[in-house]
Amino acid sequence: MSLTCPTNRKAFIAGPVGYCRGFGLSAESIGLVTSRDWLGMIRSGGNIYYIFKLAAIDRVSMQHVGAQQNSMTLEQFRAKLNSVKDLNHG
């Protein structure tokens, strides 16, 4: 949640490992954050709301995160979303 503050975002961008250590993250969690392993973050107990705060720093959309979590390209994930949408409305 600290990433909602512009000063904290700058500090994170300048030194993500040190920033994460300051919050007591484990080496494994820091690795997930620095590699932007979105699915790994979820699997290790991360909250999608807070993970999206991190994604926003990289200007990554929720669809991008969802695609990675489903081992799909962004285009494949969008097609899947559209097919579900079509099923629900058609």
Q: Which domain holds residue 9?
A: 1-59
- Residue 48 pLDDT grade (very low, low, confident, very high; cuts 50, 70, 90): confident
Domain shared by 31 and 69, yes or no: no
Domain shared by 32 and 54, yes or no: yes
Residue the block writes with tokens 């484990």: 26
Q: Which CA distances in Å does 76 have to 36, 62, 80?
A: 20, 14, 6
Whether the Cβ atoms of residue 47 and residue 32 lie closer than 8 Å to each other: no
Query: Each residue of 9-35: pLDDT tens digit?
Result: 999 999 999 999 999 999 999 999 999
Domain shared by 65 and 54, yes or no: no
What is the tally of structural domains in the chain? 2
Residue 14's CATH number? 1.10.700.10
Residue the block writes with tokens 């991190």: 54
Domain shared by 48 and 29, yes or no: yes
Coil, strand or helix at 9? helix
Predicted TM-score (pTM) of this structure: 0.78
